[in-house]
Amino acid sequence: MRGDGNELNERKKLILKAIIEAHVRDGEPVGSKYLTQNKQFSLSSATIRNEMSELEEMGYLEQPHTSAGRVPSEYGYRFYVNSLMQKYRMSQNELARMNALVKSRLAEVDKLLETATQLAAALTNYTSIAIKPGRSATAITKFRLVFITDEVLMLVMLMADGSVRTGQIHADLQLSPGLLERLEMILNTQIAGKRAEEISMPLVMEIERLFGEGDSLVGPVIKYICEVLAENTGGDVKLSGVNHLLEYPEYADAHKFKELLGVLEEKRDLLRLVSETDESDDRPQVIIGSENSVEEMQDSTLVFQKIRSGGKVIGAIGILGPRRMDYSKVISTVEYITDNISELLRASPGLPPGGQDDDEHKT
C-alpha cells in the first residue's frame, strides 16, 4: 500500500521528515539547497535531489512547478503522522492555561466544551470545533418532584445517560409536599426505566387509581415525561477561531473558503464525520485531505478526539486547518484537552454531562 512507508530506508525517512516540517513552518516548497544548508545532512545536493525525486515517484512528495522544490503529498503527511512525527512538548505557559481550564469545574459540559475550543484555537492558531453529537432520549432512571408553590412543582428526571432534565409544571389543584411525595414514589416504581412506547393508557389509568385523590395531576406529569422520552436532539457544533484560517494562503480562494464556511455552519457533515468513526476508539482521529468524504473539506485536515462520561461519548474537540498543519502540536493539544476533560468528568459525578433544561409546562 502506497503511504505505509515499508519501501523507505532511514535516509529517505529523515529527508521526508525534514521537508514536511520545513514546509509546515514556512509554507514554501523545499529544495535540496535548503536541506544541505539548514538540516546539516552529510550528503551532497545531488544525492538529496535524487532521494527527493524517488520520494516523489513513490507518492510522498509533489512538485508544484517544474523549477520549484517539493511539497508533501497527502501520502507524505499520512506517513508523517503515523510514523515520523515526534510528540509535541507543551510549554509551561500552555500547560498552565490548560490546567486552569480543566480545573475550573464549570457548571455544564456545554460551557466547558465551548471554553476548551477557544483555548485550543488560541494555542494552535487554527479553527477549533466543539462537537456535541445528537442523541435519542434514553430511559429515566429516577424521578424527583419538588414543591415550588401551591400551584407549581418541579419535575426532576435523572436520565440513563447520566444527564438531568427538569421542568416546571403548573397544576389545576392545590399542591402539597405530601401529595408530591406520593406521586414521586409511584413514578419511581411504575415509570422509571421504561421507554416512551411502554407507557400505555392502561398503565396511566393504573397510576391514577394508585394515586387516588388528586389524580388529575397524573395526566399532565405523564404527558411531559413522554415528551422528554420521545425527544431526539440533532447535536450541535461550536466554532472558535474561524478567522485564523484566513492567515493561510491555502484559503485565499474566496469561493472555496465560502463553501467551507457553509459546511462548518451547517454542522451536519461534521456531526456525521464524528459519528462514523469507531465508537470504541478514543485516540485522536486525523482525516487528511481527500480522506475526507466532505468535498469542501478536502483541502484541509481535521483532527478530533471524543470525550467520554460514564462510558458514553458526550462530545468531541476538534481542530481544522490546512493540510500543511503542525500535526504534532495539534494532536498533542487535542489529546491533552480531551483526556483532562474526561478525567474531570470522572472525578466530578455531580457535573451534568449535557447541561440542564428548565422547561415550563402548564396543565
Whether 152 and 275 map to the same domain: the answer is: no
d(CA 178, CA 156): 17
User: Domain boundary residue among 169, 204, 233?
Assistant: 233
Whether 217 and 251 map to the same domain: the answer is: no
For position 88, what pLDDT does the model report?
81
Domain that holds residue 228: 140-233
Burial of residue 325, with CB atoms counted within 10 A of its CB: 0-12 exposed, 13-18 middle, 19 or more buried: buried
Number of domains in the chain: 3
In a domain, 359, yes or no: no
Tell me the pLDDT tens digit for each residue of 303-355.
999 888 767 777 889 999 999 999 999 999 999 888 888 777 776 544 444 44
Whether 216 and 242 map to the same domain: the answer is: no
Whether 124 and 242 map to the same domain: the answer is: yes
In a domain, 238, yes or no: yes
Residues ≥6 apart with Cβ < 8 Å to 106 = 112, 115
- Among residues 78, 129, 103, the alpha carbon closest in space to that of 245 is found at 129
Residue type, 14: L
In a domain, 353, yes or no: no
d(CA 168, CA 224): 10
Whether 188 and 246 map to the same domain: the answer is: no
Whether 161 and 53 map to the same domain: the answer is: no
Whether 126 and 239 map to the same domain: the answer is: yes
Tell me the pLDDT tens digit for each residue of 279-303.
677 889 999 999 998 999 999 999 9
Whether 320 and 174 map to the same domain: the answer is: no
In a domain, 117, yes or no: yes
d(CA 337, CA 107): 17
Whether 67 and 163 map to the same domain: the answer is: no
For position 186, what pLDDT does the model report?
94
SS3 70: strand
d(CA 325, CA 104): 30
- CATH of residue 204's domain is 3.30.390.60
- Residue 244, CB half-sphere, CA atoms under 13 Å: how many? 20
pLDDT category of residue 254 using cuts at 50, 70 and 90? very high
Whether 296 and 338 map to the same domain: the answer is: yes
Whether 48 and 38 map to the same domain: the answer is: yes
Whether 69 and 98 map to the same domain: the answer is: no
- Among residues 231, 222, 232, the alpha carbon closest in space to that of 155 is found at 222
In a domain, 361, yes or no: no
- Residue 291, CB half-sphere, CA atoms under 13 Å: how many? 18
| Spatial contact of 301 and 271, defined as CB atoms under 8 Å apart | no
- CATH of residue 291's domain is 3.30.450.40
User: Domain boundary residue among 233, 264, 293?
Assistant: 233
- CATH of residue 73's domain is 1.10.10.10
In a domain, 4, yes or no: no
For position 167, what pLDDT does the model report?
87
For position 355, what pLDDT does the model report?
43
Sequential DSSP letters for 156-219: EEEETTS-EEEEEEE-SS---HHHHHHHHHHHHHHTTT--GGG--HHHHHHHHHHH-TTGGGHH
In a domain, 356, yes or no: no
Task: Please tell me which residue, 110 or 353, carries the higher pLDDT value.
Answer: 110
